[in-house]
């Protein structure tokens, strides 16, 4: 992870500092999105199965 300045101490550094500067943030965003999609699909399949089981009247 790179910083947008070339000093070795925090003296003189002011303002907001974005820790993701120069990183592969897009990779973590895509990984998070994939986890959300997987959770939605998994929940959907589980609920579909539970509904079909309830319609049959059994376990």
Q: Which residue has the higher pLDDT, 8 or 47?
A: 47
Domain boundaries in the chain? 24-59
Residue 10 pLDDT more than 70?
A: yes
Q: Which of the four pLDDT bands, split at 50, 70 and 90, describes residue 21?
A: low
Q: What is the pLDDT of residues 24-49, one digit of tens each?
A: 788 889 999 999 999 999 999 999 99
pLDDT computed for residue 57 by the predictor: 83
**Cα-based distances in Å from 59 to 19, 31, 42, 51, 52:** 51, 35, 19, 11, 10
């Amino acid at each position: 992870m790179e910083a947008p300045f070339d000093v070795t101490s925090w003296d003189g550094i002011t303002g907001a500092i974005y820790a993701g500067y120069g990183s592969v943030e897009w990779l973590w965003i895509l990984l998070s999105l994939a986890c959300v999609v997987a959770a939605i699909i998994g929940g959907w399949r589980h609920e579909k199965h539970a509904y079909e089981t309830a319609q049959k009247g059994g376990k």
